[in-house]
Structure 1
Amino acid sequence: MFGRLRTVHEGIPDFAMPPEQDVRRAADSMRLLADPTRIKILWALLQGETSVACLADLVGAAPTAVSQHLAKLRLAGLVEGRREGTYVYYTAESAHVRALLSEALGQAANRTR
């Protein structure tokens, strides 16, 4: 009676929605990055290896709070830690994360102008 609904996307060659699993992973990553302190931490780590104490000073948060953020970022595979004696030094070397943060920060700067 009603037939199949035709969408405008049917005429686009090679159009396909991303797999559901990829969409969920992307949404999880976006939720993880939707925190100002984590954005600051990642931005600092993209500049080079840093300790928790230095990160805490840079982002204006307590070292324990920074450690908790780092634990989540590490579980997500966005940062890595290297132990040297009693200290752990963290890095984030992802061109994808750098591009995502640069784009988001650029968009934010353009909205305020």
Structure 2
Amino acid sequence: MEIKRLSTILKLIANPERMAILFLLLNGDRSITELAQALDSSPTGIANHLARLRTEGIIDFTRYHRIIEYRLISEEATTILNTLRTLKDQAE
């Protein structure tokens, strides 16, 4: 993995709300509504974070009629998030 790509992924994950979104997506596909409810956040704010993550190739979406479900697609981000989750679990 290129250093520049790794740096970009880490910057995106470093935002607490984006990290929370990505942890939820690590467990499966979610809609904006599901993410907003789980994080007690506005759908607009969630949509803005998702757009940034999608632009950088971290996530993608699938449309089911009127429902859009987002999913994690970056193997690098998945590896980093799994490592962070392990560290978090060890600290608790």
Q: What TM-score results when the alignment is normalised by the length of structure 1?
A: 0.69
Q: Secondary structure at the match of 1:48?
A: coil
Listed as ranges, the gaps of 5+ residues in structure 1 are 1-17
| Preserved CA contact (<8 Å) 1:46 1:93 | no
Listed as ranges, the gaps of 5+ residues in structure 2 are none
Q: What TM-score results when the alignment is normalised by the length of structure 2?
A: 0.83
Aligned positions, number: 92
Structure number with higher relative contact order (C-alpha < 8 Å, ≥ 6 residues apart): 2
**Which amino acid counterpart does residue 60 of structure 2 have in structure 1?**
E
Q: CA deviation at 1:101?
A: 1.1
Higher helix share: 2
| Preserved CA contact (<8 Å) 2:9 2:77 | no
Distance of aligned partners of 1:102 and 1:25 in 2 relative to their CA distance in 1, 3 Å threshold: same
In the other structure, the counterpart of 1:15 is: none
Larger radius of gyration: 1
In the other structure, the counterpart of 1:12 is: none
Higher strand share: 2
Percent of aligned pairs with the same amino acid: 27
Q: CA RMSD in A?
A: 2.0
In the other structure, the counterpart of 2:8 is: 28
